[in-house]
Amino acid sequence: MRVGSLLAGVAVALAAAVGTVYVVNVRDETPPSRSIAPVGRDIERGSYLATAGDCIACHTAIGGAAFAGGRPIQTPFGTVYSTNITPDAATGLGNWSRDDFWRALHNGRSRDGRLLYPAFPYPNFTHVTVDDADAIFAYLRSLPPVTRVNAPHELRFPYNTQAALAVWRALFFRPGVFEPDQNKNAAWNRGAYLVRGLGHCDACHASRNIFGAVSHNLDLGGGLIPMQNWYAPPLVSSTGAGVASWEEAHVEALLRTGNSPRAAAMGPMAEVVFRSTQYLSADDVRAIAAYLRSFAQSPVEPTPLPKPDADVVARGALVYEDRCAECHGSNGEGVLPAYPPLARNPSVTEALPANAIKAVLNGGYAPATAANPRPYGMPPFVKRLTADEIAAVLTYVRASWGNSGAPVSTFDVERYQ
Amino acid sequence: MRFLRILRAVLWSFFGVRRRVDAARDLEGVQPHTIVAVGVVVAAVVLTGIVGLVRLIIGTESAPERMQSPVSVPAPIGAVAKKHGPVVLRDTMEERVRPCTVCHGNNTEATADGFSPRIAGKPAGYLFNQLVSFRDGRRTYAPMVYLVQYMTDDYLRDIAAHFSELELPYPAPESTSMTPQAVARAHELIEHGDAARNVPACSECHGANLAGIAPAIPGLLGLPRHYMNAQFGAWRAGKLRAIEPDCMAEVARRLASDDIAVLTAWLASRPASTEQKPLHEPNRKLPLECGSVATTVK
């Protein structure tokens, strides 16, 4: 009897915990009320919004049919495969209703009731309005159906369980709606909606905690992208390569052409420009710029750095003259729009040298966009320079022509490649 | 006092192991529902504590990792001779393909190393197909994929056309030691193929002069032997693919391993010249179906 009471107590406590997690996971799941019936323009508007949200990037395998899914997304917890969102009845969204679609975007729950992995950025998409969600759904319904069976995710235990996902969501996910800030103008609010909601910029431009969640106190503060090791600079800060103090025209140029006097889009951002932001309207790009610029602050007082080893710098200078100076200039002056200046370039002197290392190793072209259809590029030096030479040349560049970046070690080069 | 006793009983029950007499003493005269109520409250307190702890960990763990902007360190350069004057940007394809020429050779030589293939003078359709294959996942050599992944068909066509029009001198042929029997076998395969294995003659698709057939079939001369061996291995392993039906992968699988070694040694040893141009025969009848040729000609 007494043992029974104790067991009952424990059971009730457990049930209370499970119940809490359950309630937290299903809150705000009633279908939204809609004032207007869908209209014909929805498909066109939905196409634009789907592009602004860059759905195609994740939901298309390399060389695969558009929106048919199957692209592997590497995470620290395993590989998540994107799903088929063409209107195929058997393997895509063919049997979905717009309420099902809304619940996926707003609550992160699939039509069959399964909780979705936040690699699908529903912590951002939850802020998308009902009208916009309906328009995107109408557009997806208008696509040619493609039969492609979704691949099962390859996640490790316990991350492959719905229970773990439910606990994660109880801790880190709140369904929400976008609340315009009445103290700001319409452009600022549109920018906030695109940056924080549909555009899901913080999927990369924010640091993540050990549970893979974007931490809200450092939202958009920049971060190293998990698994890819590209550093996404802060969007709401002026420090380092932060973009908050960029001129509006430079933000616009980067998003619409892939190139700007301040920086060129590289790595994952080149893909974002290539598939998404180059197609944004002038108004939306200006709205994003206005939103980001509202976070501009005065630069932080610098602190002294250790002096780099003179021998390393001298070796780096030789490599630089041999391999880099022809395009970037003996004084790091570069020439726009092709070869960015390296002198006083915050992308080059970032505290985390990941991007500079990746640029030297892999090279790359700016994305080919409507405004810059035949971009110039940087050669890959992965087979031409040793890790030691790359460390030396970057140490030299980061300590020359008014630059002030910490030395780069051979270990850094190995780590970020 | 009584409440403390119940609390003690509940906490012990969380721990799970306790002397029976102590448990009995704590539970004397206590109603079961009181125990349950206290249990729920304590469980809630513990859960809140865990959640709070997790939040605390996250808060400290994700503190900014960035260093402050440091002060300038004067660069001790003096010793290095500056070879380069002001940077001049030319609005030409030659300028735009600099990332390619680091490995594939510049204006004066076709290949800079023993592995990267010659691309100068190959048919434009062939080069375009390769660039698209790197972009779309049929070919996977990482440095190539990085360069072309965010390019449009139009730009890739421009790049392919640029290299197809280049007439660069060929490097000296590789010196390979081949027995007379091996040379004879190479001739046999080039001119007649291997009927027993259903392998067509190389020249049937790549042209009698082995300079390729425009627009989509490449020439075979002036390529490093290591490169050709690697390509045959990749075809056979399914790591190097073309648009289906993939005729060359099929030929590579049909060929005997020894014959591949003989062919690559012989081809690498042949002198090549820019005088030998690809034939232009878009409608040539081929012994196998080739997706890459069919889509290019179409």
Top-level class of domain A310-416: mainly alpha
Which one of A330, A344, A345, A383 would you mutate to disrupt binding with B, by most B Cβ within 10 Å of its Cβ?
A330
Residues of A in contact with B65 (CB under 8 A): 207, 351-352
Domain presence at residue B69: no
Listed in sequence order, the residues at least 6 apart from B232 whose beta carbon sits closer than 8 Å to its beta carbon are: B252, B255, B260, B264
* Residue B133, H or E segment: helix B124-136
Domain presence at residue B212: yes
Count how many domains chain B has.
2
Q: What angle do CA B125, B128, B134 make, to 5 degrees?
A: 145
- SS3 at position A80: strand
Domain presence at residue B77: no
Distance CA A64, CA A61 (A): 5
**CB-based contact (8 Å) between A330 and chain B?**
yes
Q: Does B79 contact A271 at a Cβ distance shorter than 8 Å?
A: no
Classify strands A154-155 and A78-81 as parallel, antiparallel or unpaired. Answer: antiparallel
Which residues are paired to A364 by β-bridges?
A: A378
Residues of B in contact with A311 (CB under 8 A): none
Q: What angle do CA B155, B159, B164 make, to 5 degrees?
A: 145
Q: Tell the residue number behind the tokens 């602190």, with chain if given.
A: A303
Q: Which two tokens stand for residue A52?
A: 């602004």
Contact B259, B189 (CB under 8 A): yes
**Interface A-B: count of C-beta contacts within 8 A:** 228
Domain presence at residue B278: yes
Contact A214, A208 (CB under 8 A): yes
Q: Please tell me whether residues B107 and B29 are part of one structural domain.
A: no
For chain A, positions 7-66, list CB contacts with chain B under 8 A.
Answer: 8-10, 12-14, 16-17, 20, 61-63
Q: Do domains A186-293 and A310-416 have the same CATH topology?
A: yes
Residues of B in contact with A308 (CB under 8 A): 73
Q: Please tell me whether residues B111 and B250 are part of one structural domain.
A: yes
Which one of B27, B57, B72 would you mutate to disrupt binding with A, by most A Cβ within 10 Å of its Cβ?
B72
Domain presence at residue B67: no
Residues of A in contact with B14 (CB under 8 A): 10
Closest partner CB to A12 (pick from B40, B102, B158)? B40
Q: Please tell me whether residues B6 and B147 are part of one structural domain.
A: no
Q: Please tell me whether residues B125 and B15 are part of one structural domain.
A: no
Q: Please tell me whether residues B196 and B118 are part of one structural domain.
A: yes
Q: Closest-CA residue in chain B for A310?
A: B76
Domain presence at residue B59: no
Q: Does B39 contact A406 at a Cβ distance shorter than 8 Å?
A: no
Distance CA A211, CA A168 (A): 8
Q: Please tell me whether residues B286 and B212 are part of one structural domain.
A: yes
Domain ranges of chain A: 25-172, 186-293, 310-416
Q: What is the pLDDT of residues A357-394, one digit of tens each?
A: 999 999 999 999 999 999 999 999 998 999 999 999 99
Distance CA A108, CA A162 (A): 12
Q: Does A377 contact B147 at a Cβ distance shorter than 8 Å?
A: yes
Q: Reply yes or no: is the peptide bond before residue A158 cis, omega within 30 of 0.
A: yes
Q: Which two tokens stand for residue B104?
A: 């594939």
Which one of B45, B68, B159 would you mutate to disrupt binding with A, by most A Cβ within 10 Å of its Cβ?
B68
Q: What angle do CA B223, B224, B230 make, to 5 degrees?
A: 105
Q: Please tell me whether residues B98 and B24 are part of one structural domain.
A: no
Q: Please tell me whether residues B212 and B121 are part of one structural domain.
A: yes
User: Would you place residue B141 in the very low, low, confident or very high pLDDT band (cuts 50, 70, 90)?
Assistant: very high
pTM: 0.85
Residue B215, domain CATH: 1.10.760.10
Q: Does B75 contact A400 at a Cβ distance shorter than 8 Å?
A: yes
Distance in Å, alpha carbon of B113 to nearest chain A alpha carbon: 10
First to last CA, chain B: 93
Distance in Å, alpha carbon of A405 to nearest chain B alpha carbon: 7
Distance CA A16, CA B130 (A): 60
pLDDT in tens, chain A (417 residues): 578 888 888 899 889 988 888 888 888 888 887 766 555 678 999 999 999 999 999 999 999 999 999 999 999 999 999 999 999 999 999 999 999 999 999 999 999 999 999 999 999 999 999 999 999 999 999 999 999 999 999 999 999 999 999 999 999 999 998 999 999 999 999 999 999 999 999 999 998 888 888 866 557 888 889 888 999 998 988 777 788 888 999 999 999 999 998 888 999 999 999 999 999 999 999 999 999 999 887 766 666 777 889 999 999 999 999 999 999 999 999 999 999 999 988 889 988 999 999 999 999 999 999 999 999 999 999 989 999 999 999 999 999 998 989 999 999 999 987
Q: Please tell me whether residues B41 and B173 are part of one structural domain.
A: no
Q: Closest-CA residue in chain A for B146?
A: A364
Residues of A in contact with B72 (CB under 8 A): 402-404
Classify strands B279-280 and A231-232 as parallel, antiparallel or unpaired. Answer: unpaired
**CB-based contact (8 Å) between A245 and chain B?**
no
Which range of residues forms the domain containing residue B25? 2-53
Closest partner CB to A365 (pick from B81, B86, B150)? B150
Amino acid in position B220: L
Classify strands A223-224 and A154-155 as parallel, antiparallel or unpaired. Answer: unpaired
Distance CA B189, CA B181 (A): 12
Distance in Å, alpha carbon of A225 to nearest chain B alpha carbon: 14
Distance CA A303, CA B70 (A): 5
Q: Please tell me whether residues B103 and B166 are part of one structural domain.
A: yes
Q: Closest-CA residue in chain B for A269?
A: B150
Q: Please tell me whether residues B108 and B42 are part of one structural domain.
A: no
For chain A, positions 360-389, list CB contacts with chain B under 8 A.
Answer: 362-365, 367-368, 373-384
CATH of domain A186-293: 1.10.760
Q: Does A210 contact B69 at a Cβ distance shorter than 8 Å?
A: no
Distance in Å, alpha carbon of A130 to nearest chain B alpha carbon: 31
Distance CA A250, CA A172 (A): 34
Domain presence at residue B68: no
- Contacts by A90-93, CB closer than 8 A, 24 or more apart: A90/A147, A91/A146, A91/A147, A91/A148, A91/A149, A91/A150, A92/A68, A92/A145, A92/A146, A92/A147, A92/A148, A93/A137, A93/A140, A93/A141
Structure ipTM? 0.91
A164 exposure class (CB count in 10 Å sphere: 0-12, 13-18, 19+): middle
